[in-house]
């Protein structure tokens, strides 16, 4: 059994900018127009970064992915997989404001959730690749 993650101090704007820059670099390298949302542990928006030519609907989706990741302390991919498996996994459909689409990751530093990143704009696995590039900035 994995240890229970605790919420830690909120992510700083300086770290949020570093994460967004790393995520943006991954998106630009692949020519992917995306929105990058970074939230604090209370699910409050810290930074929203929209690349040129990104579809407008991705603004809300990126935030929803980050909110889900921080509120449930797990990647949004876990919900996508549970729903795809059917059966008991379908219970997640009953939860309000849950975004079961890959591309949201909790940001964990020193074993504590300090926020989350959500990315939207391309295929969900590509969104996840951009989010992971951003999250990789955090050491520890």
What is the CATH number for 107? 3.30.450.150
Q: Is residue 60 part of a domain?
A: yes
Q: Is residue 140 part of a domain?
A: no
CA dihedral 126, 129, 131, 137 (to 10 degrees): -160
pLDDT by residue for the chain (140 residues), tens only, comes to 677 899 999 999 999 999 999 999 999 999 999 999 999 999 999 999 999 999 999 999 999 999 999 999 999 999 999 989 989 888 888 899 999 999 999 999 999 999 999 999 999 999 999 999 999 999 76
Q: Is residue 1 part of a domain?
A: no
Count Cα neighbours of 56 within 13 Å in the Cβ-side half-sphere. Answer: 0
Tally the domains of the chain: 1
Q: Is residue 128 part of a domain?
A: yes
Q: Is residue 54 part of a domain?
A: yes
Give the residue from 40, 90, 38, 87 showing the smallest Cα distance to 65.
38
This prediction has a pTM of 0.95
**Could you list the residue range(s) of the whole structural domain that residue 102 is in?**
6-135
């Amino acid at each position: 059994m994995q240890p229970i993650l605790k919420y830690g101090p909120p992510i700083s704007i300086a770290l949020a900018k570093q994460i967004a820059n790393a995520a943006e670099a991954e998106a630009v390298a692949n020519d992917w127009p995306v929105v990058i949302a970074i939230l604090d542990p209370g699910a409050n928006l810290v930074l929203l970064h929209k690349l040129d030519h990104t579809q407008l609907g991705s603004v809300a989706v990126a935030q929803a992915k980050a909110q889900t990741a921080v509120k449930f302390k797990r990647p949004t991919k876990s919900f996508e997989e549970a729903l795809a498996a059917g059966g008991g996994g379908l219970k997640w459909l009953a939860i309000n404001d849950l975004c079961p689409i890959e591309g949201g990751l909790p940001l964990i530093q020193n074993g504590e959730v300090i926020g989350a990143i959500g990315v939207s704009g391309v295929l969900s696995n590509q969104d996840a690749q951009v989010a992971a590039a951003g999250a990789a900035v955090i050491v520890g």
